A and B are shown apart, each in its own frame.
Chain A
Amino acid sequence: EAGVVQSPRYKIIEKKQPVAFWCNPISGHNTLYWYRQNLGQGPELLIRYENEEAVDDSQLPKDRFSAERLKGVDSTLKIQPAELGDSAVYLCASSSLAGGRADTQYFGPGTRLTVL
């Protein structure tokens, strides 16, 4: 079974430029998460989808971040424009349970973003 796929693995951009990250979850997983992980910290949730609906985007900085999961499968996270403080690893995870039941999250390898 293929795991969570993310691309690109690394991205270096200059501040004020746009950037997009792509995630393909494990087949059949209806819940998808985007996290941001700063060095030495744990992952922090940005947005959670159940199918194509964003059920928790309270931590997403909506002035510059956007996300979509149009067909309830793969997802894209965008930053426009990027700031120096956005440098971090962006992790995507998926799980097969929804509706608040206990779930095990399967993470992708992450995209390491460096903003210069």
Chain B
Amino acid sequence: SQKIEQNSEALNIQEGKTATLTCNYTNYSPAYLQWYRQDPGRGPVFLLLIRENEKEKRKERLKVTFDTTLKQSLFHITASQPADSATYLCALATGGFKTIFGAGTRLFVKA
């Protein structure tokens, strides 16, 4: 069956460190993958999009990698700050460009 897996356990890191979040998928061949941030009581906010033919994408302190062989995307936040604390959602665009979201990983950055 098709599945998207993100770490269900929260990730706790110290301010200034790099946070790395993982998104694994099975039985999909996504055309592209997106990462969204969601704060409590709010809707998701788009962060980055990476296409199947791209290996890496950067935006300021954010970096996303996409390995279609491993069926995995890694999301990095460098020099993390307490304001980066949120839930981060991975989303795949499947055939027909239907967007499927993972359950998200909660990140806590401690000052």
Q: Which residues of A contact B (CB under 8 A)?
A: 4, 40-45, 48, 56, 91, 93, 100-110
Contact = CB atoms under 8 A, between A and B. Distances in A.
B43 A93 contact: yes
B97 A100 contact: yes
Contacts, number: 51
Nearest to A100: B97
Contacts of A41: 103-104
A101 B101 contact: no
A56 B93 CA distance: 14
Query: Size band of the B side of the interface?
Result: 20 to 34
A114 B94 CA distance: 31
Nearest to B45: A107
Interface in B59-107: 89, 91, 93, 96-104
Given A41-B103, A42-B102, A43-B101, A104 B44 contact: no
B32 A107 contact: no
A92 to B, nearest CB: 8
A101 B32 CA distance: 10
A82 to B, nearest CB: 21
Contacts of A48: 98
B49 A45 contact: no
In the A-B complex, the 10 residue pairs with the closest CB atoms: A107-B43, A42-B101, A100-B97, A104-B46, A43-B101, A107-B44, A42-B103, A102-B32, A41-B103, A42-B102
